[in-house]
Amino acid sequence: MEDKKGSLPDAGAAAALEQAFRLVDLQNKGIRSSNALASGRRGGAGPTDDAAFQFGGQTVMLPVFNGPAEDSPYSLLEGEDGFKLQFEGKTLMYLDPVARPNFYDLSTADGIPYNKIAALHSSDVLASTVIQSCIRWDPNDRCKFCAIGHSLAAGSTVAKKSPAQLAEVVAAAERLDGIRQITLTTGTPNETDRGALHLTECVKAIRKVSRLPIQVQCEPPEDAEWYWRLKEAGANTIGLHVESFDEDVRREMMPSKSSITLETYFDAFEKAVAVFGRNQVTTYVILGMGEDAEKTIVGCSRAAALGVYPFVVPLRPLRGTMLEFAKPPTSAYMDDMYRKVADLLSAASLSSADSMAGCAKCGACSALPSFEKNKAPGVMG
């Protein structure tokens, strides 16, 4: 399977399918690697403990720093001609890590390094957690999969990014590294606007320096007018992350956040789609937390029918989280769920290619885009 650097091993359909399954397996098991990877990220909100790689013509995020990666059958061998991906010691292909971006070398006038304000995700997404604290970050109530408080405690980020700081970093990352979209997420600061107010201010400031598409991500705000305010400020898409469509799993894994019920989420989906449009609202769905597969598919189907893209990802047991020692889902389960969700997307005429910004557009944390029928250019499978 080893081939010329940077190319697919085989352009045939069977090889493409094998590549898609390999990606599923890699995202579950991770890669044993040296710490030489300059672009990896540890801690923070969302999937982390990972690094970005060029894999068969697309960029993917693969776990390299979490527990499962330590025991993975996959490893990375650095040689003179680049990094080789090995499975149980046998070389499969070249796997180039995405280079450290240039904007990481800059600091604001008051001395804050740009990479404490925003990070490069995948190869062309600038991402920032605009409020790094969360009312749910309590030892008994926090979401068991989340690491948002750890990077703040480690000093690798700042608690609240100002709109001006973000605009400054966006301008530099667009100029120096050619970023193509922006994702702004937030911890939940209160139970009213849930971070939408600060997101709105940040988007307004970014719009003064950039026309790049922006996704905002937050819990559903109490007042649905926030969707209009975010849209009018310049946000193109919104992520409302349900995390699981199994209410029992939500209560177990998110003791505090599950107070926002699934029905509240479905109501929010409808209101957000009325503002942002079909295919411009996404929801993160983590698989492998003990969920009922049928309830999950029913939930994804209901979301897709409303015009919401269910971005399914495998559980990443992150360092320092309450699920640090959990096992990721099996690759066979993920493969089956990806196929079913891809069919739902197709039936609802939704696709990552038609999303303007955010996780569905980026797709690097999930193999779902590889299973879609209407793929974006460059996506394999």
Output the smallest distance, CB 46 to ligand SF4, in A. 5
Output the smallest distance, CB 215 to ligand SF4, in A. 8
Q: Which two tokens stand for residue 351?
A: 């696709």
Nearer to ligand SF4, 125 or 249 (CB): 125
Distance CA 211, CA 7 (A): 32
Are the beta carbons of 61 and 97 closer than 8 angstroms?
A: no
Block residue for tokens 């804050």: 112
Nearer to ligand SF4, 61 or 348 (CB): 61
Which residues of the shown chain bind ligand SF4 in the complex (CB under 6 A)? 46-47, 61, 121-122, 125, 127, 183, 359, 362, 364-365
Output the smallest distance, CB 47 to ligand SF4, in A. 6
Q: What angle do CA 45, 277, 220 make, to 5 degrees?
A: 40
CA 297 to chain centre: 20
Are the beta carbons of 272 and 258 closer than 8 angstroms?
A: no
Nearer to ligand SF4, 9 or 213 (CB): 213
Are the beta carbons of 337 and 291 closer than 8 angstroms?
A: no
Output the smallest distance, CB 127 to ligand SF4, in A. 5
Nearer to ligand SF4, 230 or 364 (CB): 364
Report the phi/psi class of residue 171: left, alpha or beta, with left for phi > 0 and alpha for psi in -120 to 50.
alpha
| Alpha-carbon dihedral angle through residues 103, 106, 112, 113, given to the nearest 10 degrees | 50
Nearer to ligand SF4, 73 or 378 (CB): 378
How many Cα atoms are found within 13 Å in the side-chain-facing hemisphere of 278? 10
Nearer to ligand SF4, 86 or 281 (CB): 281
Residue from 342, 239, 235 nearest 283 by CA: 239
Q: Give all strands of the β-sheet with 50-55 in edge-to-edge order.
A: 58-63, 50-55, 96-97
Output the smallest distance, CB 150 to ligand SF4, in A. 16
Q: Which two tokens stand for residue 124?
A: 């062309």
Nearer to ligand SF4, 46 or 149 (CB): 46
Q: Which two tokens stand for residue 4?
A: 């010329």
Are the beta carbons of 42 and 151 closer than 8 angstroms?
A: yes
Output the smallest distance, CB 52 to ligand SF4, in A. 7
Output the smallest distance, CB 364 to ligand SF4, in A. 4
CA 14 to chain centre: 28
Output the smallest distance, CB 91 to ligand SF4, in A. 26
Nearer to ligand SF4, 127 or 130 (CB): 127
Output the smallest distance, CB 312 to ligand SF4, in A. 11
Nearer to ligand SF4, 285 or 365 (CB): 365
Of the chain, the end-to-end C-alpha distance in Å amounts to 16
